[in-house]
Structure 1
Amino acid sequence: MRFMKFRIAAAAAALACAIAAPIQTASAQTVDAIKKGGVLKIGSQVAQVPWGFSDSSNKLTGFDIELGEMLAKDLGVKLEVTPVTSSNRVAALLTGQVDVLAAVMGIFADRQKVVLFSRPYTTNDTIYIGKTSANIKGWNELNGVRVGVPRGTPQDIAITKAAPAGAIIQRFDDDAGTVQALIAGQVDMIGGAATQVPNIAQVVGPGKYEEKFIVARAYNAFAVRPQSREWATYLSEFVARKLASGELPALYKKWIGGELGKMPDTGEGEGALPVSMVQ
């Protein structure tokens, strides 16, 4: 990759317009068009360690960012990263602001109705996190507990479906805001990724917060516009090559830790959906 262009202000303004008006899906994206344009426009979350964040030298890095660099190199083009959040990422894709999402996008049935997924490139466990001193092991023990979740995410969907009696659900715009609410004492517990536990420990100290129970195992994948079948196929083949070469397992070990688990070889159908909730 020759350089990375990081746009914030323009993306925020454009996304605000997209949210204010009905979404009109942009035309299909093709591999040839991206190569001819010389730029890969990728939407990633940039405030969620370890997926995307700025390091101590203010360099954008993380699992999805390095994956984007890998993809741009494979295409022979420059990389342009547009910051997105869990609530606006699909709008950014469908309105043509980005060519593809590598934005902690788990494959779920509702999302499959509006975007086209490549085969998954990593696993991502969804859990609930709370104080170590709190004796909470499942949905039935959330009576009177203030639970924070990022709006529209798997953890939001899970707690909405479970509807534990007496749980006080508070929704936030993104993961960073949800974690901050936990640290600030605005909520007692949050839904998030397993990777957030060590991140919280770095801020408040080890041993204060822990995983309380697992909700599901999801599979993260590239997402493209629903009519971009050729582009999705290219991305699936790219993932297959990087799994075979060992580059994706190495990326997982670097940013997530441990060994990358077995994943479905498609982003469609039942085999690509998350496992059942663990209650």
Structure 2
Amino acid sequence: MKKLIRNSFALVGAALIASTAPAQADEIDDIIGTGTLRCGVMLDFPPAGFRNSSNEPDGFDVQYCKDMAKALGVEAEVVETPSPERVPALVSKRVDVMIASASNTLERAKTVAFTMPYVVYTNVVITQKDSDIKSFEDLKGRSVGNVVGTTPEQFFLEHFENWDDPNGNYTGFGSDAESYLAVSQGKVEAIIGSSAQAADLIASGNFPNLEIRSEAPFTVDLVSIAVNKNDHSLLRWANLFVWEQQKSGRYAELYKQYFRSDEVPALTIPNTYY
């Protein structure tokens, strides 16, 4: 009987503690409460993120942020976030969401949570126009660069290590702008980058001596919105938002506007991801 009474008191005590414990904050309520959605966006990655002629943030990812904020009934704040700072910006709570063309890798998913893919990229080899590099295989034994911590870097380094060519060398850069400047100035012979970004930068006239040489033999790069891994309600809402963007045709509209292509890629991998 004493044991039963003690257990009863223990249960009552636990209930009292649970009832007086502070409720866990809801991320969506917090964002609505502040009236602002802070989006981490790369602004050196056109056409996804860049500064327009008025020096205002613009691009596919920027507009996606504005659409998300509108759906939440708040204002959008675009926080310029270079590639290596994307995950740290989320973890340190400098931003609420990361809409920054981030590949949804297993390694990153240990730290942040990803939505379903919201856009897709393919990667290409970029060189100077007078380079004798014609294909991806020609990169063996050459000087190649890429942005540190990116998926294209990860894919390329796998090939680089397998080649094991003593004449080859690799240089990591802190941003896309640095990598394009390096190949333009001949500091490296080639870089690997998004086909959409490469086409946009070359068409802009900022790098008149560069051209796309070939596709890189990597899988398509599905990228996702990221939130802090414990922001469960925000993750669920963001997943539904991405789905609504596709279902409503808004994804196709934005893709055609910023990527200047009538062919809108499916956010799937045949026989793998539907």
Q: Quickly name the TM-score band, shorter chain normalised.
A: 0.7 to 0.9
Q: Which amino acid aligns with 1:263?
A: L
Larger Rg: 2
Q: 1 CA distance for matches of 2:104 and 2:215?
A: 21
Q: Taking structure 1 as reference, are residues 162 and 195 closer, same or farther at Cα in structure 2, changes over 3 Å only?
A: same
User: Partner letter of residue 53 of structure 1?
Assistant: F
Of residues 31, 56, 60, the one that matches 2:57 is 60
Structure 2 counterpart of 1:237: 240
Contact 2:135 2:213 in 1 (8 A): no
CA contact (8 A) 1:118 1:222 kept: yes
Secondary structure in 2 matching 1:216: coil
* Distance (Å, rounded) in 2 between the aligned partners of 1:242 and 1:42: 17
Q: Which residue of 2 aligns with 1:102?
A: 99
* Percentage of identical aligned residues: 27
1:126 aligns with 2:131: no
- TM (normalized to structure 2)? 0.81
Give a deviation string over 1:86-125, Cα, whole Å, max 9, x none. 1111001011111000011111221122211111111111
- Return the alpha-carbon distance in structure 1 between the equivalents of residues 169 and 239 of structure 2: 40
1:162 to 150, 159, 164: 159
Q: CA deviation at 1:193?
A: 0.6
Q: Give the structure 1 partner of residue 226 of structure 2.
A: 223
- Aligned match of 1:275: none
Give the Å deviation of 1:65: 0.4
C-alpha contact (below 8 Å) 2:41/2:62 kept by paired residues:
yes
Deviates more, 1:240-249 or 1:162-171: 162-171
Q: Secondary structure at the match of 1:121?
A: strand
Q: Higher helix fraction: Structure 1 or Structure 2?
A: 2
Provide the aligned C-alpha RMSD in A: 2.1
**Equivalences for residues 23-172 of structure 1 within 5 A:** 30-133=27-130, 134-139=132-137, 141-163=138-160, 164=163, 165=165, 166-172=167-173
Contact in 2 for aligned 1:150/1:175 (Cα 8 Å): yes
Conservation of the 8 A alpha-carbon contact between 1:127 and 1:212: yes
Structure 2 residue runs of 5 or longer lacking an equivalent are 1-23
When structure 1 is superposed on structure 2, of 235-244 and 159-168 the one drifting more is 159-168
The CA distance in 1 between the partners of 2:76 and 2:234, in whole Å, is 16
State the distance in 2 between where 1:226 and 1:77 align.
22
C-alpha separation between the residues in 2 aligned to 1:70 and 1:248?
Answer: 11
**CA separation of 1:224/1:147 partners in 2, compared to 1, >3 Å: closer, same or farther?**
same
Aligned residues: 240
Task: Structure 1 unaligned segments of length 5 or more: list them.
Answer: 1-26, 273-279
Contact 2:123 2:215 in 1 (8 A): no
Deviation at 1:29, TM superposition (A): 6.1
Q: CA deviation at 1:242?
A: 1.3
TM-score (norm 1): 0.80
Instruction: Give the Cα–Cα distance (whole angstroms) in 1 for the partners of residues 245 and 172 of structure 2.
Output: 36
